[in-house]
DNA sequence: CTGAAAGCGCTTACAG
DNA sequence: CTGAAAGCGCTTACAG
C-alpha cells in the first residue's frame, strides 16, 4: 500500500524511454501497421515497465468519444420499479458494456426535490456517448429533450407516444391477458379484481388493458373490477381494504406486479382468507419475491436482464451509426405457475410423516 | 425527436457571441469575481441561448480530475453478496455522489473468465478519481495493486490484513454472537448448527467466530457444529442434507445470511419439520427476503445503504486530501425479531374467524 | 513510408 | 485589474 501520488506516466515518457515520438508510441500501442514489429515490441515493454495508463480524458477529448454509456434512472422509477428490476437491468447493461470495454455510468435523480434530475446530469456532463432510459413515465418530456440534445438514446419499455425512439420491451398487454385467462379458463374464476400499477406508466396501462380484454372475451360470465395501486407492497394490501371477499366477493385477483401480490397475500391472511383456496391470486415480474412467499405466487416471468443487454447493444449500434433508423425489439415473456393460482406445487412437500 | 447531430457548442462560440475571450466566458460561468456582473449576465444568457454544455473531457484533462468515482464489484461478489446488498450499496453511493455532482461508474468483471477484471477496468481507464470496493475476498491482491496505483480507495467491509486502507463496516462478530445468544438465552436452544458463508470472505469468518464465541460462553450446556455454505439459497438447503434433526438433532440453526436461511427453511419443510416449533432458525442481513417468508426470519439488520454513503463521503474526502490518514467507520446493526426464532409474530394475524 | 504539428475544449498561471 | 498564451495528453491529418 505504498501509493504515494506520482505524476502520471504519459505517452511522452514512454516515447523518451524508447527514443521515438509520442505519435509513434500511440500508433505502436494501437497496433498500427506503420510501426515495425520490433519497435512496437520495445514500446510495449517500456509502457509496461513504466506502468503507462492512457488518459481517458485526453483520449475522449481528442476522439470526441468517451467510451461510456449512461443508464438513466428517473427519480420516481427507482421507487416505482424496485430494486430487483433495476439490478437485472444493471447486470444486463454491464455485461454488454464489458464486451465492448465501455464504461457504465449510473445516473439517478437526487432523492430530494432539489438537485438535478438524472437526465440533466447526463446531458450537462456530456460524459456519455449515449443513454439508456429505464421505464420513464408516460409523457416524460425529458426523453424528448434528451434525444433532441443529439445524444443517442434507447428506451427500456414501451413508449407509443415516442414512435421515433429506439426501444426494447415486451408485450405487457398480451401477457396480462394470458395470466388473467389462466385464472378464468384453467381455474374457473368468475369474479375478478385487478390491482393496477401507477397509471402514469405505460406498463400499468397495458397490463390493465390486458386484464380487461381477457374479461371481455369471457364477458357474459365474468364480474370484474379494477382498483388503482402503485406497485408497492402496501398498495397491494390497501387495494383490498373495504373490498368484500369470500362468498360474496372476488375469487381471483390479478396484481400488476409481484410486490403488490405479496402485500395482497398478507392482507388476505389478515382477513382470515387463504390463497389459493378462498382467493386465487397472480402477480407479474418474477424477480425473486414471488418464489419465496408461501404460497408461491403465480406470475409472468419477464426477461429484464436480456431487455437491458439488448438495449445496450442497440445503443452501441446507434452510437456507431447515429443516422440509423430507430429499432424496436420485442421479447418473450412466460407464465410461471406456482401455488397462489390453485396450480399444484411444483416441488414436492412432505409434511411431517 | 429532431436531434440531428450538430457540432458541439464550445466556450469559443459563447465568447464570440458575447464579444469576449473564451477565458472570460470560463470565468464568468464559474462565477469568478474577475468578471463584472453585467458581463457575467450576458455570458450566461448567451450560453443558455446556444445550449452550451461544458465538455467533461476537456475539463477533466485540464483539471486532472474526472469528477467521477468508481464502484468496483469483483466478479465473485456479484454472486456472493447478491442483488439486494448491491442495490443498497448503489443507492448509498449515488446519493452521496449526487450531493457533490459527481458521476458514479459501476465496474464489474466480465462474467466469463476472459476479459478484464473490475479492478483493471478502473485502473486502466483512469476515468475515476477514486474507487470504492465492495466486499472483496480475503487476500485479494487487486486491492493493494489498486491502492498502489495511486488511486484513492475506500473499502466496504472489514479487511484486517489491510490496516492502512480506509474502510467502513460493522462488527459482524459481535452481531453474530448477539443473534446466537438470542437463541441460547431467550429461546433456550441447546443444540446449535451454524451454516457459514464462503470462508474466503472476512464477513463469513467473523460471523462464524461470533457464533463460536456465543457457544463457548455457554460451553457446558451447548452442543454446536459448523457447516460451510456459500451464501446461496441452495447451499443453505444443502447444509441440512445428511444432518440429523428433530428429537436427536439440532434445535436451532444460525445461518450466516438470509438467503441460506430461506433455503434451510424450505429444506426443513421438505423433511417434515416446522420452524420455529421443531427447529428455530435465524439469518443475517435483512435486505428484504427475511420479511417475506413464512415464518418471517429473525435476522440481523445491516445498514448497507448507510455503509455505502459513508464510504463514498470518505472517498471524496480522500480525493480532496490524498495525504490524509486512513479512516475507519463502524456502523451499528440491530436484531430484528420475527417468528422463525420462536418470538411472537409482530403483525397481528387473525386466522379465519 | 515517416516525422512532427495541429488541435480536441477547457482553465489557470503569466505577462502586461 | 485584464488579456491572451500555454498546456493538460492524446490521435490523426498533413507535410516531407
Residue A326 approaches strand D within 7 Å at CB: no
> How does the average pLDDT of chain B come out, rounded?
88
Cell of B50: 446556444
Q: Does strand C come within 7 Å of the CB of B214?
A: no
Q: A309 and A166, same structural domain? A: yes
Give the per-residue pLDDT at B111. Answer: 57
Q: Is residue A348 part of a domain?
A: no
Asked whether residue B59 is domain-assigned, the answer is no
Per the CB < 8 A criterion, the answer to whether A189 and A251 are in contact is yes
Same domain, B191 and B159: no
- Same domain for B191 and B91: no
**pLDDT tens track for A76-86:** 556 777 888 98
A285 located within any domain: yes
A124 touches strand C (CB under 7 A): no
DSSP count for chain B of H helices, then E strands? 13, 12
**A119-160 pLDDT tens trace:** 888 888 789 999 999 988 898 888 988 888 889 999 999 999
Q: Are residues B72 and B111 in the same domain?
A: yes
Statement to judge: residues A178 and A280 lie in one domain:
yes
Assess whether B164 and B310 both reside in one domain: yes
Query: Is A240 domain-assigned?
Result: yes
pLDDT band of residue B2 (cuts 50, 70, 90) is very low
- Partners of residue A269 in chain B, C-beta under 8 Å: 349
Q: Are residues A271 and A221 in the same domain?
A: yes
Both A279 and A310 in a single domain?
Answer: no
Residue B31 lies in a domain: yes
Number of domains in chain A: 3
- Among chain A residues 60 through 119, which have CB within 7 angstroms of nucleic chain D? 61-63
B322: pLDDT strictly greater than 70: yes
Q: Are residues B220 and B246 both part of a single domain?
A: yes
Does A288 share its domain with A311? no
Between B66, B270, B274, which is nearest A349 by CB? B270
A128 assigned to some structural domain? yes
Q: How confident is the model at residue B3 (pLDDT cuts 50, 70, 90)?
A: very low
Kindly indicate the confidence band of residue A8, based on its pLDDT and cuts at 50, 70 and 90.
Answer: confident
What does the alpha-carbon distance between residue A83 and residue A149 come to, in Å, rounded to a whole number? 29
Q: How confident is the model at residue B199 (pLDDT cuts 50, 70, 90)?
A: very high
B248, pLDDT greater than 60: no
Q: Which nucleotide shows the minimum CA-to-C1' distance to residue B10?
A: C9
Measured distance CA(B167)–CA(B256) in Å, rounded: 22
Quote the pLDDT of residue A232: 92
Q: Are residues B179 and B294 in the same domain?
A: yes
A292: Cα within 13 Å, side-chain hemisphere:
25
Same domain, B176 and B297: yes
Q: Give a yes or no: residue B176 inside a domain.
A: yes
**pLDDT tier, B6 (very low <50, low <70, confident <90, very high otherwise):** low
Residue A349 has pLDDT above 70, yes or no: no
Closest CA–CA distance from residue A175 to any residue of chain B (Å): 25
What's the mean pLDDT in B209-231? 93
A259-290 as b/e, with b when 16 or more CB fall inside 10 Å? Answer: bbbbbbbbbbbbbebebbebbbbbbbbbbbbb
| Cross-strand bridge partners of residue A12 | none
C-alpha cell of residue A333: 415473456
Label residue B115 by pLDDT band (50, 70, 90): low
Is B339 among the domain residues? no
CATH number of the domain enclosing B110: 3.40.50.2300
Nucleotide nearest to B13 (CA to C1'): C9
CB–CB of B233/B262 below 8 Å?
Answer: yes
List the domain range (segments joined by +) for residue B254: 172-302
pLDDT of residue A241: 80
Amino acid at each position: 500500500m505504498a501509493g504515494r501520488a506520482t505524476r502520471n506516466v504519459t505517452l511522452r515518457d514512454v516515447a523518451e524511454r524508447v527514443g521515438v515520438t509520442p505519435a509513434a508510441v500511440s500508433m505502436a500501442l494501437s497496433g498500427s501497421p506503420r510501426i515495425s514489429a520490433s519497435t512496437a515490441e520495445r514500446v510495449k515493454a517500456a509502457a509496461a515497465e513504466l506502468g503507462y495508463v492512457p488518459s481517458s480524458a485526453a483520449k475522449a477529448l481528442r476522439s470526441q468519444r468517451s467510451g461510456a454509456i449512461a443508464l438513466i434512472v428517473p427519480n420516481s422509477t427507482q421507487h416505482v420499479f424496485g430494486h430487483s428490476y433495476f439490478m437485472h437491468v444493471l447486470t444486463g447493461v454491464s455485461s454488454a458494456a464489458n464486451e465492448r470495454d465501455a464504461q457504465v455510468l449510473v445516473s439517478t435523480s437526487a432523492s430530494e426535490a432539489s438537485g438535478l434530475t438524472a437526465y440533466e446530469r447526463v446531458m450537462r456532463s456530456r460524459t456519455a456517448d449515449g443513454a439508456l432510459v429505464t421505464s420513464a413515465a408516460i409523457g416524460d418530456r425529458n426523453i424528448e429533450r434528451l434525444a433532441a440534445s443529439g445524444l443517442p438514446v434507447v428506451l427500456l419499455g414501451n413508449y407509443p407516444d415516442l414512435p421515433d425512439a429506439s426501444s426494447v420491451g415486451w408485450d405487457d398487454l398480451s401477457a396480462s391477458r394470458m395470466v388473467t385467462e389462466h385464472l378464468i379458463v384453467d381455474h374457473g374464476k368468475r369474479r375478478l379484481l385487478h390491482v393496477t400499477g401507477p397509471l402514469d406508466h405505460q406498463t400499468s396501462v397495458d397490463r390493465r388493458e390486458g386484464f380487461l380484454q381477457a374479461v371481455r372475451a369471457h364477458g357474459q360470465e365474468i364480474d370484474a373490477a379494477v382498483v388503482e395501486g402503485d406497485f408497492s407492497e402496501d398498495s397491494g394490501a390497501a387495494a383490498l381494504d373495504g373490498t368484500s371477499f369470500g362468498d360474496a366477493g372476488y375469487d381471483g385477483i390479478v396484481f400488476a406486479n409481484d410486490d403488490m401480490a405479496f402485500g395482497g397475500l398478507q392482507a388476505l391472511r389478515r382477513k382470515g382468507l387463504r390463497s389459493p383456496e378462498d382467493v386465487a391470486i397472480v402477480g407479474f415480474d418474477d424477480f425473486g419475491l414471488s418464489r419465496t412467499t408461501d404460497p408461491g405466487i403465480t406470475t409472468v416471468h419477464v426477461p429484464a436482464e436480456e431487455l437491458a443487454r439488448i438495449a445496450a447493444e442497440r445503443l452501441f449500434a446507434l452510437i456507431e451509426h447515429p443516422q440509423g433508423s430507430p429499432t424496436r425489439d420485442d421479447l418473450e415473456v412466460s407464465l410461471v405457475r406456482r401455488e397462489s393460482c390453485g396450480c399444484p406445487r411444483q416441488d414436492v412437500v412432505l409434511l411431517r410423516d
